[in-house]
């Protein structure tokens, strides 16, 4: 069937098998390989992307279901001038990645988490990332990174709020 998915702001149209998984569409058709596959039981979260702004495991979505919808992958998080997203910056600052394989999915899960809960506790972050496995970091620095990103956003909002007064 013919599908059109908007990926990182650009329309990607193709003729695909009905059974094509969204994660393969992103990797093979859209040519964006940051989104990774780490399991076959919707367990690991390495394939997490934003679908219409919310974190979703793209291995468990048919491309057909994403037809006409918006997807953001890790490649689409940075600003147009190449500046890293605050969550990406925080992951680097806090050493929240080692081999990097879980990282695109982890970062997008964190982005979605912070959108829904801008001021998470450590426990909120750990629960919020229960669907994302990491084998390298022990999660310690990932949690620090997400909390740091939340703090940075809070600080920015405070600054904006103060500036507006």
Partner 1 sequence: MSILGTRVVRTEDPRLLTAGGTYTDDLRLPELAGAGRITFVRSPMAHARITGIDTSAARKAPGVIAVLTASDLDDVPSAGDNPTAEPLLAAGRVRYVGEAVAIVVTEDSYQGEDAAELVSVDYEPLPAVVTIGDALAGSTLLFDGTGSNLAAAGGDPAPDDAFSGCDVVIERRIVNQRLAPVPLEVRAAAARWADGRLTLWVSTQNAQLARGALAGSLGLPEAAIRVIAPDVGGGFGAKIAAERDSIAVAWAAKRLSRPLRWVETRNENLMGMVHGRAQQHIIKIGGTRDGRIRAYHLDLVQDCGAYPRFGPFLATLTKLMASGVYDIGYAGATFRAVVTTTTPVSAYRGAGRPEATAAIERAVDLFAAEIGMDPVEVRRRNVVPPDAFPYTTQSGAVYDSGDYAAALDKVLAAAGYAGLRAEQARRRERGDPAQLGIGVSCYVEITAGDAPLGETSRLVVDATGAATVYTGSSAHGQGHQTAFAMLVSDELGIPMDRITVIHGDTDAVPKGVGTYASRSLQLGGSAVHQAAVEVKDKARDLAAGMIEASEADLEFDVSRGAWQVRGDPETALTLAAIAERAGPDGLVADVDFRPDSPTFPFGAHVAVVEVDTETGKATLIRHVTVDDAGKVLNPVLAEGQRHGGIAQGVAQALLEEMLYDADGNPLTATLADYSAITATELPSFELIGMETPTTVNPLGVKGIGEAGTIGAAPAVQSAVIDAVAHLGVRHIDMPATPVRVWTAIRECYSEPTSEPGPSDPGERSVQMAPAGPSRVSE
Partner 2 sequence: MIPAPFTYQRASSIEEALEMAAEHGEDAKFLAGGHSLLPLMKLRLAQPEVLIDLGPLRDLSYIRDGGDHIAIGALTRHHDLQHSDVLAEAVPLLAHASGQVGDPQIRHRGTIGGSLAHSDPASDLPATILALDATLVARGPSGTRQIAAADFFQGLFETALEPDELLTEIRVPKPAAAGWSFQKFTKRAIDWAIVGVAVQGGSVALVNMAQTPVRAAAVERALVGGASAGEAAAHAAEGTSPADDINATSAYRQHLARVLVTRALQEAAARG
Write out the residues near partner 1 by the rule CB under 8 A: 17, 19-20, 27, 31, 33-44, 46, 74-75, 77-78, 82, 84, 88, 91-93, 95, 97-104, 107, 122, 125-127, 129-130, 132-144
Contacts of 75 (CB under 8 A, 6+ apart): 8, 32, 34
Per-residue contact string for residues 6-45; x = within reach of partner 2 by CB under 8 A:
-----------xxx-x------------------xxxx-x
CA dist., res. 152 & res. 147, Å (int): 9
Q: Any contact of residue 48 with partner 2 (CB under 8 A)?
A: yes
Residues whose CB is less than 8 angstroms from the CB of residue 137 and which lie 6 or more positions away in sequence, other chains included: 95, 96, 97, 98
Q: What angle do CA 108, 109, 115 make, to 5 degrees?
A: 90
Tokens of 139: 């999660």
- Window 135-164: residues binding partner 2 (CB under 8 A): none
**Alpha carbons 143 and 17: distance in angstroms, whole number:** 39
Q: To the nearest whole angstrom, how small is the minimum distance from the Cβ of residue 61 to partner 1? A: 16
Give me the residues that bind partner 2 (CB under 8 A), please. Answer: 1, 17-19, 21, 40-43, 45, 48, 51, 54-57, 59-62, 64-65, 109, 112-113, 116, 127-128, 130-132
């Amino acid at each position: 069937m013919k599908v059109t998915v908007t990926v990182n702001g650009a329309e990607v149209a193709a003729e695909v098998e009905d059974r094509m998984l969204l994660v393969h569409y992103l990797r093979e058709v859209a040519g964006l390989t940051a989104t990774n596959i780490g399991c076959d039981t919707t367990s690991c979260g390495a394939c997490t992307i934003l679908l219409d702004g919310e974190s979703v495991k793209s291995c468990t979505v048919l491309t057909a279901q994403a037809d006409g919808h918006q997807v953001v992958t890790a490649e689409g998080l940075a600003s147009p001038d190449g500046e890293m997203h605050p969550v990406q910056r925080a992951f680097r600052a806090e050493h929240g990645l080692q081999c990097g394989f879980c990282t695109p999915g982890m970062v997008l899960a964190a982005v979605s988490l912070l959108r829904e809960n801008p001021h998470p506790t450590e426990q909120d972050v750990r629960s919020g990332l229960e669907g994302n496995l990491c084998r390298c970091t022990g999660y310690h620095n990932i949690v620090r990174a997400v909390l740091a990103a939340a703090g940075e956003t809070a600080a920015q909002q405070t600054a904006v709020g103060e500036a507006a007064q």
